Amino acid sequence: SANNSQEPLNNGTPGPFDGPQWPHQAPRGMYLSVSVLMGIVVVSASVVNGLVIVVSIRYKKLRSPLNYILVNLAVADLLVTLCGSSVSFSNNINGFFVFGKKMCELEGFMVSLTGIVGLWSLAILAFERYVVVCRPLGEFRFQHRHAVSGCAFTWSWSLLWTTPPLMGWSSYVPEG
């Protein structure tokens, strides 16, 4: 019979929510090694992105339109770290996804949402640099309204593409 569900075929290994995946996929030591690396990523990315946000808010002279996009990128990256990398850290310590299917779906949504925001923030930064260096628009200046519009675009566009799976059009499922 055809497998019409979102669940993969069972080949004798536990599912992603059923319990530790070792030794079915990798030895426990491998999971713990990855968790150490993910712990380093979580701590360093949280500190660095948090500093960018705090310093940009604290020092008025850093509140330039271009820095709005950098702060938008830092917020997106911080959220990817907190919603994705920290969950990966936990998953590797435990050997499986301990938070259940709903949190798996939420994590997939948040990582997709904030990842796309980060990528579009980088695209806006690249476009701004192109316009400043190559001057295809003459004496165009990247201003407050452009930065705010750019930030709003990154979140709106990302929501447009990441929300449908929450509404039943496709889905967020475990990977790996």
Rounded to an integer, the average pLDDT of 33-58 is 98
**pLDDT exceeds 50 at position 3:** no
When comparing pLDDT for 12 and 128, which is higher?
A: 128
Are 98 and 90 in contact by the 8 Å Cβ rule? The answer is yes
> C-alpha angle 170/171/176, rounded to 5°?
125
**Residue 134 belongs to a domain:** yes
The answer to whether residue 150 sits within a structural domain is yes
Q: How far apart are CA 103 and CA 16, in angstroms?
A: 13
Q: What is the DSSP string of 41-94?
A: HHHHHHHHHHHHHHHHHH-GGG--HHHHHHHHHHHHHHHHIIIIIHHHHHHHHH
**Number of domains composing the chain:** 1
Q: Which domain holds residue 157?
A: 28-167
pTM of the model: 0.87
What's 149's domain CATH number? 1.20.1070.10
What is the percentage of the chain residues whose pLDDT exceeds 90? 75
pLDDT digits (tens, 9 = 90+) for 89-102: 999 999 889 999 99
- pLDDT, position 5: 53
Distance CA 90, CA 40 (A): 13
Confirm whether 173 is domain-assigned: no
**The pLDDT value given to residue 9:** 58
